[in-house]
């Protein structure tokens, strides 16, 4: 960014003086007021000026250029009524400086150590924030550059920073991020900030559940503590059943049965089944959602079963074939089905009984088999090698093997400075 007389830093406006046409000081500038709306760069609507021990509001029409050494007052007289914030207004110094902000480009939290103001056609507006550490922004700016300036159009303040503004984090912006990115935001934020994000994504129950699945267990439990048993069950209902079972085991013991009772019957049955296995085994890790079709069918019917399935995408990479009794006979990769003619008999494309694990296998044994046979999905079968109980997907396995809090340890959920 090139320095020009119509671009200034907020830090060079706050605590300067507002002066009359004779150059006499009227008061000290305490803050700059903007009003958020649908525009990318909100206009400055006025200043908060300290005069005779009280904070007054001076509207933008009575303010000269911020680029002046002393900012000129253009009016005839000052309105002596105390400043009162109006709905939608942001105080740049009080609400934004050194606060966490959401940067929707990359899905990171940033901390604004300065704010960039610019003039266009006689109107001053906010164009960006500078996350450089205190003092550095001003030094760089004086040399004609700024440090990693973030466009104001891509950021959002937290409502808790602006208690009277009646603002909400826009769901439409969050929805453009991957659930894992939203989870990173929640984990990097304070509890109250995280609650704001969760509340915003709550407009879409499916997205809320996806975000919960991506949170580490500590945060999952933390955000369920403030919800009723019925509200907690509503979230668990939309989570993958294996993730829901893991989370249910982490909440207070006296809440487990009540929350379980509120689950929808299908989800409740799946969760109960998973709870019978140790969480450190293939049985505890598996998802009971997969696609198994009769070997007597054809490729078209198998693909139709995939289209109709609500199983996670990762579990649909392999389709399993069974006999009339439901016993596992073999498997076929989804890619193979897509490449095959629709009326081709399924028996022509399935392989022999696939490499598999048993529900009692520990995670390392499961990982070793999946690695040896290059599996992204491994079926979990009973000891008689007849019934497929569920599947272990590679993403769930990797996540389970990584240490708790690995995102934070590797700097993936932190505030960018």
At 256 the pLDDT is: 94
Using DSSP bridges, classify how beta strands 318-322 and 292-294 pair: parallel, antiparallel or unpaired.
Answer: parallel
Task: Give the E-state strand segments of 60-179 in sequence order.
Answer: 71-72, 89-91, 100-103, 108-111, 114-120, 123-130, 150-151, 155-157
3-class state of residue 109 by DSSP:
strand
At 98 the pLDDT is: 81
Q: Where are the alpha helices (DSSP H) in 82-215?
A: 136-142, 171-174, 179-188, 191-201, 205-214
Q: What b/e string do you get for 246-259 counting C-beta neighbours within 10 Å, with b at 16 or more?
A: bbbeebeeeeeeeb
The ranges assigned to domains in the chain are 7-161, 178-276, 292-400
DSSP letter for 346, please. G
Q: What b/e string do you get for 366-393 counting C-beta neighbours within 10 Å, with b at 16 or more?
A: bbebbeeeebebbbbbeeeeeebbbbbb
Alpha carbon 10 to chain centroid distance? 29
DSSP letter for 383, please. T
Percent helix, strand and coil across the chain, each to the nearest 5:
40, 25, 35
Q: Which CATH superfamily is domain 292-400 in?
A: CBS-domain (3.10.580.10)
Q: What are phi and psi of 274, to 5 degrees?
A: -70, -30
How far apart are alpha carbons 400 and 138 in whole angstroms?
45
At 3 the pLDDT is: 42
Beta bridge partners of 112: 97
Torsion angle of C-alpha atoms 52, 57, 60, 66, degrees rounded to 10:
40
At 76 the pLDDT is: 83
How far apart are alpha carbons 173 and 201 in whole angstroms?
10
Q: In CATH, what number does 7-161 get?
A: 2.30.30.240
At 135 the pLDDT is: 54
At 142 the pLDDT is: 52
How far apart are alpha carbons 29 and 46 in whole angstroms?
10
Tell me the mean pLDDT per 10 residues along the chain, length 417.
66 91 90 88 94 91 87 87 87 89 90 90 90 58 60 86 66 90 92 90 89 89 91 91 90 93 94 90 92 94 94 91 90 94 92 87 94 93 89 89 63 59
Q: Note whether 152 and 44 are within 8 A (CB).
A: no
Residue 222: other Cβ atoms inside 10 A: 15
How far apart are alpha carbons 375 and 379 in whole angstroms?
10
Domain 178-276 CATH assignment equals 1.25.60.10: yes
Please name the residue that has the structure tokens 């073999």: 330
Alpha carbon 267 to chain centroid distance? 25
Structure tokens at 281: 């085994």
């Amino acid at each position: 960014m090139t320095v020009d007389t119509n671009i200034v830093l907020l830090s060079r406006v706050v605590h300067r003086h507002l002066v009359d046409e004779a150059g006499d000081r009227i008061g000290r500038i305490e803050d700059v007021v903007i009003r958020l709306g649908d525009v990318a760069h909100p206009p400055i609507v006025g200043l908060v000026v300290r005069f005779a021990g009280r904070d007054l509001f001076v509207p933008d029409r009575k303010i000269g250029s911020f680029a002046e050494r002393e900012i000129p007052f253009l009016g005839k007289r000052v309105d002596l009524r105390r400043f009162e914030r109006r709905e939608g207004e942001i105080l740049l110094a009080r609400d934004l400086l050194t606060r966490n902000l959401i940067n929707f480009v990359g899905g990171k939290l940033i901390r604004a150590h300065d704010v960039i103001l610019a003039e266009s056609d006689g109107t001053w507006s906010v164009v960006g924030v500078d996350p450089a550490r205190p003092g550095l922004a001003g030094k760089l700016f004086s040399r004609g550059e700024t440090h990693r300036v973030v466009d104001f159009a891509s950021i959002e303040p937290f409502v808790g920073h602006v208690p009277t503004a009646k603002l909400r984090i826009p769901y439409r912006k969050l929805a453009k991020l991957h659930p894992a990115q939203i989870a990173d935001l929640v984990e990097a934020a304070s509890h109250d900030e995280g609650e704001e994000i969760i509340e915003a994504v709550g407009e879409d129950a499916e997205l809320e559940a996806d975000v919960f699945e991506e949170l580490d267990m500590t945060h999952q439990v933390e955000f369920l503590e403030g919800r009723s048993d019925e509200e907690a069950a509503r979230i668990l209902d939309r989570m993958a059943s294996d993730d829901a079972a893991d989370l249910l085991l982490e909440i207070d013991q006296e809440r487990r049965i009540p929350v379980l009772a509120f689950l929808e019957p299908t989800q409740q049955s799946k969760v109960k089944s998973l709870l019978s296995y140790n969480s450190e085994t293939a049985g505890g890790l598996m998802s009971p959602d997969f696609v198994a079709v009769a070997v007597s069918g054809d490729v078209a019917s198998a693909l139709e079963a995939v289209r109709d399935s609500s199983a996670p995408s990762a579990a649909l990479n392999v389709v399993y074939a069974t006999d009339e009794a439901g016993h596992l006979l073999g498997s076929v990769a989804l890619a193979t089905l897509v490449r095959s003619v629709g009326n081709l008999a399924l028996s022509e494309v399935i392989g022999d009984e696939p490499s598999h694990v048993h529900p009692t296998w520990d995670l390392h044994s499961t990982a070793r088999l999946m690695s040896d046979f290059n599996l992204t999905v491994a079926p979990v079968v009973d000891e008689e090698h007849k019934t497929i109980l569920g599947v272990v997907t590679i993403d769930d396995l990797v996540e389970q093997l990584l240490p708790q809090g690995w995102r934070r340890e590797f700097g993936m959920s932190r505030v960018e400075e």
